[in-house]
Amino acid sequence: MLNPLRSEAEAFRFLIASIAYFGAIVIAQVIGGTWAGLGVFIALTAVVLGWWLRARRYERPRKTAPRPHAPGERRILVIANETVGGNTLRSAILERSRDAREEVLVVTPALNSPIRHWTSDEDRARADAQQRLEKSLAQLAAVGVEARGEVGDGDPLQAIEDALRTFGADEIIISTHPEGRSNWLERGVVEHARERFVVPITHVVVDLEAEERS
């Protein structure tokens, strides 16, 4: 998010811009009268708003690195929601945890509707995510993978960032539905995650319908 008061240098630039903005309005008003001043005010405000929206859209996210951890460990962070119980994901985790002292953290974002999110009504979303998580952890335990889990933020990118603050992952696995059925893929979650986090990211596609049929 663009914030003109994020640092002293940005605040200083904001001050200079404010002087230019109000200076132009005052000069227009003095030279051309009230309507000229109003015209310059509207035009400048439109330009500033347009610039701000454009700059905000293209602002690069900050790269987030995980906390360091003990050598010899392999830490895998798994982000999955409805696909958390999929066989493909389970196989991917199993494959990576072979021949290593692995530690697996499974995070299921508590997906919620925008209205419920903004009204902080997330109990149901968290309970559902918890249910899926427990089922998945039990399945992982059945195939011998030691994993722990937690329910994360509804935004998968935020959930990853939160998890990385306390879990020094060597790899992140993002599990989604196939293209066309995945809301996360439509939103470019995997691409955004690769831009934002320095940890290697593996994208695993889980087709739950195909798994059920077979």
Binding residues for other proteins, rule: CB under 8 A, are 1, 3, 5-9, 11-12, 14-15, 18-19, 22, 25-26, 29, 37, 122-123, 126, 130, 133-134, 137-138, 140-141, 144-153, 155, 158-159, 162, 165
Q: Which CB atom, from 97 or from 176, has the smaller least distance to other proteins?
A: 97
Residues 6+ apart with CB under 8 A from 183: 177
Cβ atoms within 10 A of the Cβ of 90, count?
A: 21
Cα dihedral 140, 143, 146, 150, rounded to 10, equals: 0
Residue 210 CB, nearest approach to other proteins (Å): 25
Residue 75 CB, nearest approach to other proteins (Å): 16
Strand 201-205, strand 171-176: pairing: parallel
User: Is the separation of the CB atoms in 134 and 40 below 8 Å?
Assistant: no
Q: Which CB atom, from 71 or from 144, has the smaller least distance to other proteins?
A: 144
Q: Which CB atom, from 13 or from 54, has the smaller least distance to other proteins?
A: 13
Output phi, psi for 59, to 5 deg: -65, 125
Identify the DSSP state of 1.
-
Of 49, 40, 41, 56, the C-alpha closest to 2 is 56
Residue 128 CB, nearest approach to other proteins (Å): 12
Residue 180 CB, nearest approach to other proteins (Å): 28
Residue 24 CB, nearest approach to other proteins (Å): 10
Q: Which CB atom, from 26 or from 53, has the smaller least distance to other proteins?
A: 26
Q: Which CB atom, from 72 or from 180, has the smaller least distance to other proteins?
A: 72
Chain CA centroid to CA 75, Å: 20
